[in-house]
Amino acid sequence: MSEHDQRTPVVLSTVSADDPRLQPAARHPELVEKVIAFTFIVGILLVAGFGACFWVNAAPWTLGATLGGGMTFLGVGLIAWGKYLMPRGPFVEERHTLASSPDERNAFAAAIAERGGSVVKRRKVLGGLLGAGMGIFGIVAAFPLVRSLGPLPKGTLFHTDWVKGTYLVDITGRRVHQDDLAIGSIVTVYPEGLENTDNGQAVDQTVLIRISNENFVTQKGRETWGPDGYVAYSKLCTHLGCPVGLYEQEMQLLVCPCHQSMFNVTNGCIPQFGPAPRPLPQLPLQIDSSGYLQSQSGFNQPVGPGFWERA
C-alpha cells in the first residue's frame, strides 16, 4: 500500500442539480432574492454614508448609526441568502473515531517510556542534574519577575502621616480654624503639606465633623479628643477602603457609598450597619493657641481594610 492509500478516502460524489436537497428553502426564491437585494442596497448606502459622515466629521451618533445600520443590513441579507436561497439539505458527514488502535497506543507509549525513559534510567545522575538545573532556574527566574515589582510592605500599611502636632488642612492647603465649621458641618482634611500627594489623599484622608460647641467625648478614654465639638475619623472604610463620603447629619451617621457600611459618629464610629467589621479609627484633636486644629498624635490603629499582619 502506498502512503496515499492509508489516508481516509474522500468520496467524490455527483448529485443531480434538481435533487430536492439542493433546492433553496424559500417558497418564492425570486421574491426573497429581491428582498435580499434591497437589504444589500440599503446596507451599501449606509456603509457609504459612514464614509461620508466620517469625511465631514459629523456627530458621533451618525457615524455609529450608518456603520451599525449598514453592517446590520448587509449581515441580515447575507444570513437570509444562506438560509433561504442556498441548498437546504439536510447534509450529513460521518464522524470518524478519534481513538487509535490498541497497537498504535502501545507503540506510542513504548516510544515515550522505552526509548526516552530507558535513556534516562541508564543515566540517572545526568537526569537528576538536568532536573535540578531546570528547577533552580525556574525558582531563580521568578525572583526578578516578582521581587522587582515593588517594595516590601514593612510598616506601610500601619502608619499614616499624622503625628503629634500636625495641622489639619483642607484640600486647598488652608489650616482649619476652630471657628471655621458650623455645627453639623463636615470637611475632608489632610496633614499639612500632604494635601495634594497620593499618600495624603489615599491614606491620610480624614473627615472632620463639628458635632457641638463643647468638648465632645465619643468613647470612654477619649475625653480630650474632641475639643470644641470637633471630631475627626479616618475617611477610609474599614471594609474595602472606599472614602466614607456621605454624612447623614440627622442620624449622625457616616455612610460608605460603596457597600453601605454605616458608622455612628457620636459613638466612636462603631459600625451600625453593613459589612464593615471595625470602627473608623478616630484622630485625637487639640486646638493650638491661635485657634487652629492639630492632631494630638497619629491614629491609634491602622486605617482602612483588614490584612493579615494587622493585630
Partner 1 sequence: MSQTVNTKRSQREAAGPYGKLGHSLNELDDRLGVAKGGRTFLDKIFPDHWSFMLGEIALYSFVVLLVTGIFLTLYYIPSQDLVTYTGSYLPLDGQKVTEAFASTVNLSFAVRAGLLMRQMHHWSCDIFVGAIVLHMGRVFFTGAFRKPRELNWTIGTTLLILAIVNGFLGYSLPDDLVSGTGIRIAYSIILSIPLVGSYVAIFLFGGNFPGTDIIPRFFILHVLIIPLIILGLVGAHMGLLVRQKHTQFPGKGKTEKNVVGSPMYPVFMAKTTGFMFVVTGVTALLGAFAQINPIWQFGPYTASRISYAVQPDWYMGFLDGALRIFPSWSFHSFGHTIPLEVTIPAVIFPGILFNLVMVWPAIERHITKDNELHNLLDRPSNRPKRTAAGVSVAVLCSMLFIASSTDVIANFLHLSLNTVLWAMRILCVVLPFLAYPVTYKICREMRAFAGAGKRKTPNVVMRTAEGEYLATAAPTYVDDDHHELEALTVPTFVQEPEVVAAEGGVRRVPR
Give least dist CB 186 to partner 1, A.
Answer: 13
186 in contact with partner 1 (CB under 8 A): no
Question: Contact with partner 1 (CB under 8 A): which of 3, 5, 6, 27?
Answer: 27
Q: Alpha-carbon Rg of the chain, whole angstroms?
A: 38
Q: Say whether residue 167 binds partner 1 (CB under 8 A).
A: no
The reply to whether 5 sits near partner 1 by the rule CB under 8 A is no
Q: Does 102 bind partner 1 (CB under 8 A)?
A: no
**Interface with partner 1 (CB under 8 A), residue from 51, 75, 117, 193:** 75
Going by their DSSP bridges, the two strands 230-234 and 282-283 should be labelled as: antiparallel
Residues 300 and 303: their CA atoms lie apart, in Å, by 9
Q: By C-beta, is 227 or 281 nearer to partner 1?
A: 281
Distance in angstroms (rounded) separating the CA atoms of residues 135 and 141: 10
Residue 193 as a binder of partner 1 (CB under 8 A): the answer is: no
Q: Kindly state whether residue 210 participates in binding partner 1, applying the rule CB under 8 A.
A: no
Contact window for partner 1 (CB under 8 A) among 11-19, 135-143, 216-224, 292-300: 11-19
Comparison of 203 and 285: residue with beta carbon closer to partner 1: 203
- What count of other Cβ atoms lies within 10 Å of the Cβ of residue 283? 28
Q: For 210-230, give the DSSP string.
A: E--SS----STT-TTSSGGGE
Q: Which three cell numbers stand for residue 59?
A: 456627530
Asked if residue 127 binds partner 1 (CB under 8 A), the reply is no
| H or E element that contains 207 | strand 206-210
Q: Does 67 bind partner 1 (CB under 8 A)?
A: yes
Number of residues that bind partner 1 (CB under 8 A): 97
Query: CA angle, 200 as apex, 199 and 201 as ends, to 5°?
Result: 90
What would the grid cell of residue 246 be? 456621605
Neighbours of 249 (CB within 10 A): 13
Could you say whether residue 1 binds partner 1 (CB under 8 A)? no
CB of 161 to partner 1, least distance (A): 12
Cell of 84: 433561504
Rule CB under 8 A: is residue 156 a binding residue for partner 1?
yes
Length of the chain: 311
11 binds partner 1 (CB under 8 A): yes
**Residue 203 in contact with partner 1, rule: CB under 8 A:** yes
Span interacting with partner 1, options 117-125, 126-134, 210-218, 239-247, rule CB under 8 A: 239-247
